[in-house]
Structure 1
């Protein structure tokens, strides 16, 4: 058979492409490493994501293109590998006593295997370098980025605040209390509204995803949270990709993914889900201003985090259940008793202590738990 392009030539071409791609990533890594780290671009793995331009567009677009190239190359290599194995198998099975053909078939199959091993090695390096991983980030790692024009306050929020130094200080509540009533998107509320004085007003907000929020609601939310505010997104990477939040100008946003669950009991009994909550609680403790936390609907994962904050702040079970039940206004089919399973597991495994759950189950230190109490407890 006349071959216009041998298997070896194909692997040579792919090697050149990978070397070029890896060089581009390495150059970007070196360039980003030389930049100062601030709240406008927190390092994730090795490469740093930078601020957007106020319209939600930033260096993430570059990584999107690179990831698309990686996925296309992966598909191409899969096709070439399958073709090479089939070709080698055909050569071998039809060789009979032709020693030259047998050698060629073995060489072809060996080249395919070597190519796959090299690609697996390259993929592992890319998985380490690319923010959040090559394809998804549904585990415990997080990507931190801003959703709007950076301000001096947001750039220094985590480095100059008393909380970041391990001190405990009372955070500033919303800069514009009147703006809270103007925020009308789904399931948004101040978690203190139903706590009967357990939580400080204007410090902890919760909602559904921001994809469908109107422009006037986004502007009002920007006023509510202010330059020291923080948005914590609990959704998985795939959920964020399918329904990206709208930009809230001047407010920092962090992604702390937690896998969705159908029973709150797993938030206590499942080690990986417990640990996934660590990043969100830690971000809340270290941020000096108001916090908005949300997931897809803003009722389950968000409701669990809110319940734990209320618990360590001294709320009764009835108060926790009442706050959780408020989501039925946005979702009439929502079961207000859904949270009971998790609370029962805390009773069984941690003697009813929210502090023990956060320390032994989630992984927070005593100092971090004290920060949360100082920040949110009225």
Structure 2
């Protein structure tokens, strides 16, 4: 990356540009067009002003209907872009908050997250939303923002898929995924998440368990790759067969987003 990808924010977690990655032999993913973040329910007025300056015309909201109802995102006054969202539920709850009574230690929390990434490639709602994201990237002008609740699991996979299509290698896909752990706003996500998790469990989480739920680990994304390859043979077959991202669409996206 050429510059710090994180946009300073007061009330949004993990807002960053996921462009800038080097594409072997062909150039670099353009910066300033591909943004990702957590939800904007706690966005400050200063956050909205900073976001408004980015020229974002399309927001892909990967949360389900009940998540959006509980946590309505703030937008800049007069913003005239388009929000693309699923009409039903994309998950039973935000993935990092989909906990069970045994989720009290880091290992239990990690196993819960492994379950999230095992289910995600087979989730019809997420399949539809990933597909709609690619169509929007190809068809709509201006910059885009993809987000979910935490901006790390559903959003992390969406960003990985885009980078794969644009030609970033697997090491760079993983590096972008893990960059979530460098976000300077973890306390924002913790304030939005931990009280609800602990209320659901009826007990306190230890610090390592909280980090296992609120951050990401290599084996989370590796699990997604493994399940995709078990079901489809390769990530490219998944993209084409499940998401409808064929070579024509890939060429359109590379022409637009690779410099």
User: What TM-score do you get using the length of structure 2 for normalisation?
Assistant: 0.67
Q: Distance in 2 between matches of 1:188 and 1:276?
A: 20
Q: Does 1:368 align with 2:240?
A: no
SS, match of residue 324 in structure 1: helix
Q: Distance in 2 between matches of 1:377 and 1:240?
A: 32
1:37-62 CA deviation, whole Å, 9 max, x = no partner?
xxxxxxxxxxxxxxxxxxxxxxxxxx
Cα distance change on mapping 1:181 and 1:207 into 2, 3 Å: closer
**Alignment check: 8 A CA contact 1:205 1:291 kept:** yes
Q: Does 1:329 align with 2:211?
A: no
After TM superposition, give the deviation of residue 268 of structure 1 in Å.
Answer: 2.6
SS, match of residue 292 in structure 1: strand
Query: Which residue number corresponds to residue 340 of structure 1?
Result: 222
Q: Does 1:242 align with 2:124?
A: no
Q: Distance in 1 between matches of 2:168 and 2:90?
A: 26
Query: Which residue number corresponds to residue 293 of structure 1?
Result: 146
1:212 to 24, 35, 42: 42
SS, match of residue 277 in structure 1: helix
Shifted more, 230-239 versus 341-350: the winner is 341-350
Q: Distance in 2 between matches of 1:225 and 1:297?
A: 22
Q: Distance in 1 between matches of 2:48 and 2:18?
A: 19
Query: Which residue number corresponds to residue 51 of structure 2?
Result: 221
Query: Which residue number corresponds to residue 122 of structure 2?
Result: 269
1:259 to 79, 90, 99: 90
Cα distance change on mapping 1:328 and 1:308 into 2, 3 Å: same
Q: Does 1:192 align with 2:74?
A: no
Greater length-normalized contact order (CA 8 Å, ≥ 6 residues apart): 2
Q: Distance in 1 between matches of 2:67 and 2:257?
A: 28
Residues 136-155 of structure 1: matches in 2 within 5 Å? none
After TM superposition, give the deviation of residue 368 of structure 1 in Å.
Answer: 2.9
Q: Distance in 1 between matches of 2:250 and 2:138?
A: 8
Q: Which has the larger radius of gyration?
A: 1
After TM superposition, give the deviation of residue 263 of structure 1 in Å.
Answer: 2.4
**Alignment check: 8 A CA contact 2:225 2:235 kept:** no
Residues 127-142 of structure 1: matches in 2 within 5 Å? none
Q: How many residues align?
A: 197
**Alignment check: 8 A CA contact 1:230 1:252 kept:** yes
After TM superposition, give the deviation of residue 235 of structure 1 in Å.
Answer: 0.8
State the superposition RMSD in angstroms: 2.6
For structure 2, list consecutive stretches of 5 or more residues without a partner in the other structure: 96-114, 187-210
Cα distance change on mapping 1:212 and 1:202 into 2, 3 Å: same
**Alignment check: 8 A CA contact 2:40 2:74 kept:** yes
Q: Distance in 1 between matches of 2:45 and 2:125?
A: 37
After TM superposition, give the deviation of residue 183 of structure 1 in Å.
Answer: 4.7
**Alignment check: 8 A CA contact 1:205 1:293 kept:** yes
**Alignment check: 8 A CA contact 1:235 1:296 kept:** yes
Residues 7-18 of structure 1: matches in 2 within 5 Å? none
For structure 1, list consecutive stretches of 5 or more residues without a partner in the other structure: 1-176
